[in-house]
Amino acid sequence: MKEIRFTPTVLFLLTLTIGMVLTYLLPWNMTQYFDYTVVRILGLVFLSISFLLNILAYREFKKSLTPYEPFMKPKVLIQKGVFSVSRNPVYFALVLSKCGLAFVFDSVWILFTGVLLWGLLDSVIVPAEERILNSTFMQEYVNYKKMTRRWL
């Protein structure tokens, strides 16, 4: 029997759906606490940073000719560009985009599910990927982990 794996994209969509359903059933708006314009601007800033991080990360994947799909064995340990600041810039971008959507849709629930997404990525997805990286690159990966934070 094939093992069922939740991908980061599936977790993103699942948590977004939960946030949207909660928003519909029990509206809880950020504009109750913050100015409408500030909420929208923050949302656009988070989404823009997320978009930029993704572009920079996928550019490094392409330059290195290594797969970006989760759970695939990489050919190269990327340590340049955004990967010199964070070991998981794509996942960080996912969380940022979720936060951006929370502000754009004016939903505290979506923001909470952004925190849930971060926890799921950190406890389920990242450890599985780190095992693959550790077994593939051994000491090189251990050294990289010492020099580069997981998130920021």
pLDDT tens for each residue of 61-104: 999 999 988 888 999 999 999 999 999 999 999 999 999 999 99
Distance CA 33, CA 147 (A): 39
pTM for this model (two decimals)? 0.92
The token pair that represents 6 in the structure block: 């939740």
DSSP H or E segment with residue 145:
helix 126-147
Mind listing the pLDDT tens digit for each residue in 142-152? 999 999 999 98
The DSSP code sequence of 73-98 is PPSS---SGGGGT-S-HHHHHHHHHH
